[in-house]
């Protein structure tokens, strides 16, 4: 059985999926047609129901929970891993400006339906002047003045200072102080049209792949590097260490609590529609 699978070329995703797509573990007869896209493109594909299995942001998942179910393995949750607002000028002055009711600061964001943009809305609800950019272009957009502030994700949290940029706020820290829970960034979902036994098989195989990666962290080095946009090996593994952890093996009760709180908070603020379907894969 061949299934379409979408995930990003970022090191945390290629690290997780290496063993699965290269058959370093038992895939129980499953084959995968892989699509590599940035997270907002994956979100849009999920809205159209194009893929059998896909990575997507938790913000976007709220809009497709009737079509996709969240797998117990493969998620990116954690502490100290949140998106960051950056600038090239005075960060304290800009942070104060962001809080003003009619702020016109232009903010470069990595996508409307990213969890990063959702957190930005929670922290600074008046910051509405946004421009959607590919995440890897946001630092340059700040540097060349296309935007006043950048909302960065992924490996850019390791590179912005090298370019002379400054941190305004870490939105992951904001969430953690508000809730005491890990920040849910992205998850792996399966199309609900797949038979339940296939959904369970996908989850088993994915967990096996994550566990293999943890046991053999350098096994997929060349594969990870081939998609890592000229990142150094040190930065690649810093990235992996931030986003791949115990929640990637299984969400557990703590991970599920964080996800439910994220959705409950968003629903209270009318940011997402009411979710009537069970979020999590059952019967594991």
With 70 as the cut, is the pLDDT of residue 59 above it?
yes
Spatial CB neighbours of 128, under 8 Å, sequence gap ≥ 6: none
With 90 as the cut, is the pLDDT of residue 267 above it?
no
Angle among Cα 111, 116, 118 to the nearest 5 degrees reads 90
With 80 as the cut, is the pLDDT of residue 28 above it?
yes
Q: Please give the CATH superfamily to which domain 2-78+183-268 belongs.
A: Periplasmic binding protein-like II (3.40.190.10)
Residue 280 DSSP one-character state = B
Specify the pTM: 0.84
pLDDT digits (tens, 9 = 90+) for 74-123: 999 988 778 999 999 899 999 999 989 889 999 999 888 888 888 898 88
Q: Where in the chain do CATH 3.40.190.10 domains reside? A: 2-78+183-268, 84-179
CA trace torsion 172, 125, 44, 255 (10° rounding): 30
CA neighbor of 74 nearest in space, from 13, 9, 8: 13
Q: Does domain 84-179 have CATH number 3.40.190.10?
A: yes
Q: What is the largest CA-CA distance in the chain?
A: 57
* Phi, psi of 60, rounded to the nearest 5 degrees: -65, -35
CA neighbor of 105 nearest in space, from 118, 94, 91, 115: 94
Q: What integer pLDDT is reported at residue 256 of this predicted model?
A: 95
- Looking at every residue in the chain, the average pLDDT score rounds to 91
Q: What integer pLDDT is reported at residue 56 of this predicted model?
A: 94
Residue in the structure block whose two tokens are 């959705």: 263
Catalytic residue among 22, 23, 59, 154: 154
Q: How confident is the model at residue 142 (pLDDT cuts 50, 70, 90)?
A: very high
With 80 as the cut, is the pLDDT of residue 271 above it?
no
Q: How many CB atoms lie within 10 A of CB 141?
A: 19
- Residue 227 annotated in active site: no
């Amino acid at each position: 059985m061949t299934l379409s699978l979408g995930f990003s070329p970022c090191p945390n995703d290629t690290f997780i999926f290496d063993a699965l797509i290269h058959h370093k573990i038992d895939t129980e007869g499953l084959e995968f047609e892989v699509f590599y896209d940035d997270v907002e493109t994956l979100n849009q594909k999920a809205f159209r129901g194009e893929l059998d299995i896909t990575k997507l942001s938790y913000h976007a998942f709220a809009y497709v929970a009737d079509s996709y179910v969240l797998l117990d393995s493969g998620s990116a949750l954690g502490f100290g891993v949140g998106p960051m607002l950056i600038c090239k000028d005075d960060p304290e002055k800009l942070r104060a400006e962001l809080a003003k009711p009619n702020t016109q600061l232009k903010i470069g964001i990595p996508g409307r339906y990213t969890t990063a943009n959702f957190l930005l809305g929670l922290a600074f609800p008046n910051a509405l002047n946004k421009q959607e950019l590919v995440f890897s272009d946001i630092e340059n957009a700040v540097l060349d003045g296309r935007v006043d502030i950048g909302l960065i994700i992924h490996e850019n949290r390791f590179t912005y200072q090298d370019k002379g940029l400054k941190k305004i706020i870490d939105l992951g820290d904001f969430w953690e102080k508000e809730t005491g829970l890990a920040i849910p960034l992205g998850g792996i979902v399966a199309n609900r049209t797949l038979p339940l036994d296939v959904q369970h098989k996908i989850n088993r195989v994915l967990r096996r792949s994550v566990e293999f990666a943890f046991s053999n962290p350098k096994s997929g080095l060349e594969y990870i590097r081939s998609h890592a946009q000229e990142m150094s090996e040190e930065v690649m593994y810093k990235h992996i260490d931030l986003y791949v952890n115990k929640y990637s093996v299984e969400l557990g009760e703590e991970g599920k609590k964080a996800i439910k709180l994220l959705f409950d908070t968003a629903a209270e603020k009318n940011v997402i529609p009411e979710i009537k379907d069970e979020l999590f894969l059952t019967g594991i």
